[in-house]
Structure 1
Amino acid sequence: MEYTESKTDDIIILKLFGNLDMLNAGILKERIKESSSQNEFKFIFDLAGVHFIDSSGFGLIMSLNDKLAECGGGLRIVNVSKTIRQIFRISKISSVIQIFESTEEALSSF
């Protein structure tokens, strides 16, 4: 997995590319850990470049959302493919994590 990063105010936007699976989940976990040590707790994950998420990826998203919320921040998801959105809906992740159509909508939700 690869990602590009940008920042708007105190919100970090990560555009993810590749699969979010057991082999790659650690990359995101380490990135969030690094930001948390710098008191950065607001993230947007842009999943336009992600075509597959396994249970490890879903677990990581849920865990990160909980940890960020505990610190007064949060996680927002944008640009989700139809297939992944359906899995989010079936697994009820979308009832816990906010999913938006655009980065602008996600930014204004913080």
Structure 2
Amino acid sequence: MEYTESKSNGIVVLKLFGNLDMLNAGILKERIKESASQSEHRFIFDLEGVSFIDSSGFGLIMSLNDKLTELGGGLRIVNVSKTIRQIFRISKISSVIQIFESTEEAIQSFLP
């Protein structure tokens, strides 16, 4: 998996490409750990370039959200395909993590 990174209003936006699965989840986990040590606790995952997420990917998303929330931040998800959105709904991830249509909407959700 690859990603590009940008920041807006202190929020880290990671645009992901490829599969979020057992083989690649560690890359993302390490990136978040690095940011958390630098007091970056608000993240947006742009999943437009993600075509597949397995249970390891879902578990990673849930655990990262929990950790970031504990640190006073959180995780938002944007640009989810219909297939992945349906899986999020079935697995109830969408009831725990906010999903937005655009990065701008997700950024606004973090701001007071």
Give TM class, smaller chain: over 0.9
* Structure 2 residues not aligned, in runs of 5+: none
In the TM superposition, structure 1's runs of 4+ consecutive aligned residues that sit over 6 Å from their partners are none
1:89 aligns with 2:89: yes
**Identity in percent:** 86
1:63-82 aligned at under 5 Å gives the runs 63-82=63-82
Q: Secondary structure at the match of 2:15?
A: strand
1:56 aligns with 2:56: yes
* Structure 1 residues not aligned, in runs of 5+: none
**How much is the aligned-residue C-alpha RMSD, in angstroms?**
0.3
1:22 alignment partner AA: M
1:84 alignment partner AA: I
Paired residue for 2:12?
12
Q: How many residues of Structure 1 are paired with residues of Structure 2 in the alignment?
A: 110
Scaled by the length of structure 1, the TM-score of the pair is: 1.00
Pairwise CA distance, 1:9: 1.6
1:25 alignment partner AA: A
Paired residue for 1:46?
46
Scaled by the length of structure 2, the TM-score of the pair is: 0.98
